[in-house]
Copies of this chain bind each other. A is one copy, B any other.
Amino acid sequence: MAEAVQKPKRAARPSADATRTRILEAAEKLFADRGFHGVTVREIAREADVDPALANYHFGSKEQLFSSALLARAEEFMAEREAALTACIADADGTPTLESVIVAYTHPYLEHAQSGDPGWRSWFKLLAKANTSPEWAPEVFRDRFDPFVRKFIEAMKLAAPGAPDERYYWCYHFFSGALVLTFAETGRMDRLSDGKCRSGDLASGYDLLVPFFAEGFESILSGRRPPLGGGA
């Protein structure tokens, strides 16, 4: 268990919390850029301008440091999104539109990306890397992310009931792949479009992403567009 928060039975020395924060921020940034194995504890310490031994002192191990970095913003992020989702359902008396559910799920990404705190953009990159390397912090996915995703899928069922169960999961899967990649800002689009399109222009991406996936979800879940049937 990552000791992200030391038990404060006695008041912590003022600079200790600051040290932990500095290490976490450095870890977030470097892990986001180069992944778990691409970064050394010493690099993180250098970036945070602290002694290398402090990373282990405060977080126990490199693995726990990674988990702590991923977890740090996950709590806040998931709580916000869950509140948005609950409100979205309540506002619609239990029958929200697909688009409103997608907005509730997605809008916190945009908000934080534009919040002025660059740490959020790093964290989204970290999330993208962890998404294709779940072995780095499986417990964070299991305990923090998965439960919220299940609520999202329940909301999708409220918005578009009656489809076969597997379709909700596959549709979510497509959606999450696109969403996570979009907010990872890999810069690929910039190159492909010769600069006409910028990965960092997340507002434009968001404005297109929401209707794009609302339509995709609806066509599949309503059965308006049937599965191909030729894949077997």
Mark A residues whose CB is within 8 Å of B: 34-38, 110, 128-129, 131-135, 141-142, 146, 149-150, 153, 165-167, 169-182, 184, 186-189, 191-193, 196-197, 202-220, 224-232
Q: Would B232 and A203 count as touching, CB distance under 8 A?
A: yes
Q: Give bound CA distance, A220 to B153, whole Å.
A: 24
Q: Give bound CA distance, A211 to B225, whole Å.
A: 6
Q: Give bound CA distance, A38 to B39, whole Å.
A: 11
User: A142, A175, A181, A218: which has the most chain B beta carbons within 10 Å?
Assistant: A181
Q: Give bound CA distance, A61 to B35, whole Å.
A: 20
Q: Give bound CA distance, A89 to B177, whole Å.
A: 28
User: A35, A131, A170, A230: which has the most chain B beta carbons within 10 Å?
Assistant: A170
Known: A178-B178, A213-B216. A169 touches B192 (CB 8 A): yes
Q: Would A192 and B150 count as touching, CB distance under 8 A?
A: yes
